[in-house]
Amino acid sequence: MLRARVALNPAAVVAPVNRRTFGSFVEHMGRCVYTGIYEPGHPSADEDGFRADVLALARELGVTMVRYPGGNFVSGYRWEDGIGPAEKRPRRRDLAWRSIETNQVGIDEFAKWAEKAGVEIMYAVNLGTRGVQEALDVHEYLNHPEGTELSERRRANGAEKPYGIKIWCLGNELDGPWQTGHKTAGEYGLLAAATARALKSAEPDLELVACGSSSSSMPTFGSWESTVLEHAYEAVDYVSCHAYYEEYDGDLGSFLACATDMDHFVSSIVATADAVGARLKSKKKINISFDEWNVWYLSRFQDAPPPSEWEVAPRVIEDRYNVADAVVVGNLLISLLRHSDRVTAACQAQLVNVIAPIMTEPGGPAWRQTVFHPFARTAALAKGDVLETRVDCPTYETARYGEAALIDAVATHDPATGGVTLFVVNRDQENPVELTVDLSAFGADLSVAESVTLTDDDVRATNTKDDPERVTLRPTTQIPTGAITTGDGSVTIALPRVSWTALRLTPA
């Protein structure tokens, strides 16, 4: 049996767990909004046309914040198309996804949905085809209390109180040539800085996110962030990171190790931002908003014929996730938590139907994809402080990322309750690994309150409409709940091959 060991210490704190780590993303894209969160006429639709089955799953997922309304979509979006009487709203072309936007859902509807779901809104403004004035206008509509044209229009539309949206994205992926209104780093840096200053004149304590690179493979990766921050450093609070991972050519070993790339991505952007701060002699630190991350079989999308022509809510990138994808999603969350000192906001892209943990059929059921489970359990159990978590374990060689650890893990400790949770993946494709968790530094007995694992004999198994519970969490084998960690203060668990596990301990 392969063996690994991790020693946890409550004094080795990385940072508090940020609730915004468990963000998601609703873009006007494909069926995320229409027949995703919103489907008047669906048997579960509420008085506002929202699917109650999807709302219940969003709550169960534990999402804390939702980025809206895009994505590539936002770079051509006119927010005012989506306010006022629904029957007067225009139908528009959405150039990003070559579909028709009916504007039946706009920010007022989405804010209602967000309230029902209990999530904070992260609002993205259009800096593709628009600029400072339109960003100020939508801010006035959403956040200004009353007594101005746009705040009064919001009140007339039924929202008496301002929405108080705190965190704003200054455009989306403007480094990408595919983006409507694509810009050079210098052009975007100036625009982001000007927009940020204007928004902060209106409301000084807004938290503003400048666009970083749309992926670490962009030719301008690093230099884009550097130039943008040279212009905008003092005016913004975050720089964004976006990363999507997939299994290429059956190379499961590399895919399972892709969180090492996320680790490297974060360290590179932290170093880049800090270097700019040092050059500017600034005391301020720029944090990271990892506001698009997930597994996405992007190469299948790129190889497919162009998206359908000008349909309303076409089926776009409705990836079906398997067991390996779920293990990777769990591992990406481990990476995000590990960097909680600098990654203080993150959004899994997206929430429903479009590369999503929640799937729906129009008029039919909603169900949990495999990737739902590690997200939901991590969001529920990661409490208190993130602890430094170094695993002593064997390594393996990957074609894409070089040498990678077989086991990756992160632990959280809640000083208020004394509870400790370890989130851990086994990347080995053949063998279980026996992991010993040394808890002696806690100085008190802990008992296993819960240990759940996501794994399957078939790593390609998926959940479907007809078999929605095929892949789910099961009690970790060989872990009797309630086992007391006495003696040397450790507990040993067997991690099946290709698996994600959450082990929760509470004071005995």
Residues noted as catalytic: 173, 292
Across 78-170, the runs of DSSP E, i.e. the strands, are 92-94, 99-101, 120-125, 167-170
Of 134 and 173, the one with the shorter C-beta distance to ligand AHR is 173
Q: How far is the CB of 262 from ligand AHR (least distance, A)?
A: 16
Tell me the chain's radius of gyration from C-alpha atoms.
Answer: 23
Among 70, 76, 384, 432, binds ligand AHR (CB under 6 A): 70
Which residues, in sequence order, are bridge partners of residue 386? Answer: 15, 412
Q: How many CB atoms lie within 10 A of CB 133?
A: 9
For ligand AHR, give the closer residue by CB, 124 or 410: 124
Residues β-bridged to residue 462: 322
- In the complex with ligand AHR, the residue whose CB is nearer, 31 or 154, is 31
Which residues contact residue 507 at a Cβ distance below 8 angstroms, ignoring those fewer than 6 apart? 417, 418, 419, 444, 445, 446, 447
**The only residue of 214, 260, 344, 501 in contact with ligand AHR, by rule CB under 6 A:** 214
Closer of 347 and 409 to ligand AHR (Cβ): 347
How many Cβ atoms from other residues are within 10 Å of residue 268's Cβ?
16
Q: Which stretch binds ligand AHR (CB under 6 A): 14-22, 67-75, 261-269, 337-345?
A: 67-75
Q: Which of 378, 388, 332, 337 is nearest to 6 (CA)?
A: 388
Contact between 352 and 358 (Cβ < 8 Å): yes
385 binds ligand AHR (CB under 6 A): no
Binding mask 324-363 for ligand AHR (x = CB under 6 A): -------------------------xx-------------
Q: According to CB under 6 A, which one of 109, 173, 225, 261 is a site residue for ligand AHR?
A: 173
Question: Please, which residue, 350 or 370, has the CB nearer to ligand AHR?
Answer: 350
- Subset of 179-208 contacting ligand AHR (CB under 6 A): none
**Residue 344 · residue 18 · CB < 8 Å:** yes
Instruction: State the minimum distance, in angstroms, from the CB of residue 385 to ligand AHR.
Output: 31
- Which tokens is 54 given? 């999807």
Among residues 100, 98, 94, the alpha carbon closest in space to that of 74 is found at 94
Rounded alpha-carbon distances, angstroms, from residue 235 to 6, 206, 241, 290, 436: 41, 10, 18, 19, 47
Tell which one of 172, 389, 451, 485 touches ligand AHR (CB under 6 A): 172
Smallest separation (angstroms) from ligand AHR to the CB of 32: 9
Structure tokens at 177: 């040539």
Give which of 54, 68, 55 is closest to 23, Cα–Cα.
68
Residue number with CB closer to ligand AHR (28 or 504): 28
- Give the separation between CA 441 and CA 427, rounded to whole angstroms: 27
Task: State which of residues 4, 27, 421, 485 lies at the interface with ligand AHR (CB under 6 A).
Answer: 27
CB count, 10 Å around CB of 344? 21
Residue closest to 119 by CA, chosen among 209, 54, 189: 54
Segment 246 to 305, residues that bind ligand AHR, using CB under 6 A: 292
Smallest distance from the beta carbon of 191 to ligand AHR, in angstroms?
17
Minimum CB separation from ligand AHR for residue 298, in Å? 8
Sole binder of ligand AHR in the list 72, 227, 240, 287 (CB under 6 A): 72
Q: Cβ-closest residue to ligand AHR?
A: 71
Interaction with ligand AHR in 31-60: which residues (CB under 6 A)? none
- Say whether residue 143 binds ligand AHR (CB under 6 A): no
Tokens (6 digits) for 121: 């809104």
Nearest approach in angstroms of CB 70 to ligand AHR is 6
CB 349, min distance to ligand AHR, A:
4
The owner of tokens 């965190």 is 167
Question: Using CB under 6 A as the criterion, which residues of the chain lie in contact with ligand AHR when the complex forms?
Answer: 27, 29, 70-72, 172-173, 214, 292, 349-350
